[in-house]
Structure 1
């Protein structure tokens, strides 16, 4: 069996997916019309053309503009079910979904509206397709730590629905240390900590995420390769990296996919996983990320199996369920 045939058929897990980043242009137009909200694009084609980015900030600008059409519980349900439909088609059997409450609460949308719509879709996807999922509540790092504390407080009535907290948005100039206190409080509240680090930011941000935020996983982490002592630590601690290849090329963090460091990460013993990040914007869902890497990096079947295994092994599933899924590989 070729690596490409294998990845199309095998059960998969995804650990780094922003639900707002799975907002396809067609659905964005549909919900905008339903809610009578104007968006600055005349057609789906024009909107698709805008999905070309020079850097992270270019992407974030359109990402937040698109999120403005999400108003009602039904909208968040539709958004999340559309992503689960892709999971069902690609045999993604477990996914760990990041959501950004502040993107919505800052617009006057209630926290309950956001999470109840997402939760309704989670329940339906498990019932309909057997897809398990959990939620990672991400703090927006371009906002203040005080804002993050407000979000933490709003989340507590829904703590039973949220597994982890994360840190995303504009990395440059917003180090993990800015959020140390709210992460301490989030862990005390029972949440598992993860954080984006080393995507656009330096290796120092990864050190901070490890030492100050005490993260259980690093989201992205590409820039660890500039610091061999950091690589050694990540390998020794078996710290997983949720790598997003098509995202990295779309945002110009990697110039082209053939130069992506994924294979090098595996060679160094890093616990890399493959994920789609914001698939509607970056040109592919989970399987496409694998296929592009298989072709460009000439990944072997064993390397692909290791990547798939890593995604289950470093998920936040209960140990018994992890082993059940790994056994299927």
Structure 2
């Protein structure tokens, strides 16, 4: 059960794959809608299949499940479902990934994908008060030419997209392979993120910084094994979008107790906590906050720091970031134990 402090804590989510938010119930509903045959007979057996030995074991299942997403309505429903859940979890800002190549391969036009998600973002901003933004990702097991083709396809939507990223199979596909993709994206004004240091070595994080010049690193936990890299990440205030439950589910770390998040925080890194692919990999953003509280012993001040980091690491407008930070501070004050609140009030007089 999620702690009440965590549940209402204002936060941003910066690392969530929309295609990875497909709950089993929606999976089967969309399969029926689009006449797609699934390898599982029912919701329960699909959920039971969500046990993985690593990233490369997980990705084929993710892509197989995502095959049910075919129409503009499917993408709208998926994005709306995630944003509804995120808003209920105290998420004020959601910067979401969409790996468009998977769906282009299946015949879904780029416009159907992007227009649907952007419409869901607009509606959720009005109806739910959550501010969403879209980052289009390319898949690193494909060629750089394929990634550059994605940039051309999304050009008509440039002003409505937040940025670009890179995901999927990391090992054997170093960031340097996509140097031109990132240079082109920067020249077009996109903010840039890159998955690095999840399944790959610390050197991939260095390449992401030095060659791709990424604004933000997704995962980055491999850096914890390299003191010099840790120092650099801290000195340069490089944002890291860490996904603790995902790291456990994909065996990046042997257990939550062994997760390097506390060491990364102690080293002064700009780390954030996120969900990645929540139905598959252990839970939504609040489940991750709860896990680091319960299993890593992070107290309320530390959780509030993670929430502040999530806004500071976002690509949001500075004025909105300041407002979100003030909301975190107000939440902390409102949830102080009575004796601490009394001391704080006395000190203010």
- Three-state SS of the structure 1 residue aligned to 2:189 is coil
> Does the 8 A contact of 1:4 with 1:294 survive in 2?
no
Q: Does 1:308 align with 2:307?
A: yes
The equivalent of 2:264 in structure 1 is 265
1:1-329 to structure 2, matched below 5 A, reads 4-329=3-328
TM-score by length of 1: 0.98
Partner secondary structure for residue 14 of structure 2: strand
The 8 Å contact of residues 275 and 283 in structure 2, kept in 1 or not, is answered as yes
- Distance apart, 1:314 and its partner CA: 1.1
Misfit runs of 4+, over 4 Å: none
TM-score (normalised: structure 2): 0.92
TM-fit CA distance, 1:168: 0.3
Q: Is the 8 A contact 1:23 1:79 kept in 2?
A: yes
Shift of 1:82: 0.9
Alpha-carbon distance in structure 1 between the residues aligned to 2:120 and 2:4? 30
Deviation, 1:116, is 1.1
In the TM superposition, residue 6 of structure 1 has moved relative to its aligned partner by: 2.0
CA deviation string 1:123-161 (max 9, x = no partner) = 111010110011111110001111111111000001122
CA distance in 1: counterparts of 2:76 and 2:115, whole angstroms: 8
CA shift, 1:93, in A, is 1.1
Offset of residue 172 of structure 1? 0.3
The question of whether the paired residues in 1 share the 8 Å contact of 2:118 and 2:134 is answered with no
Unaligned runs of at least 5 residues, structure 2? 329-349
Conserved? CA contact 2:9–2:304, under 8 Å: no
Say which is worse superposed, 4-13 or 309-318, in terms of deviation: 4-13
In 1, Cα distance between the equivalents of 2:227 and 2:30? 47
SS in 2 for 1:280: coil
Shift of 1:286: 0.5
1:282 aligned counterpart, secondary structure = coil
Secondary structure of the residue that 1:142 maps to in structure 2? coil
Q: Deviations over 1:302-328 (max 9, x none)?
A: 111110000011100000000011001
In the TM superposition, residue 4 of structure 1 has moved relative to its aligned partner by 3.6
Q: Using the alignment, how far apart are the partners of 1:120 and 1:49 within structure 2?
A: 33
TM-superposed CA distance for 1:164, in Å, is 1.0
CA offset digits 1:97-130 (Å, max 9, x no partner): 0000111112221110111111111011101011
SS at match of 1:218: strand
Q: Is the 8 A contact 1:31 1:69 kept in 2?
A: yes
- Within 1, Cα distance between the matches of 2:4 and 2:117? 32
| Paired residue total | 327
Q: Is the 8 A contact 1:17 1:276 kept in 2?
A: yes
Using the alignment, how far apart are the partners of 1:46 and 1:131 within structure 2?
33
Aligned-residue RMSD, C-alpha:
1.0
User: What is the CA deviation profile of residues 21-75 of structure 1, one whole-angstrom value per residue up to 9, with x for unaligned ones?
Assistant: 0000100100010111111111111111111111101110111001111110000
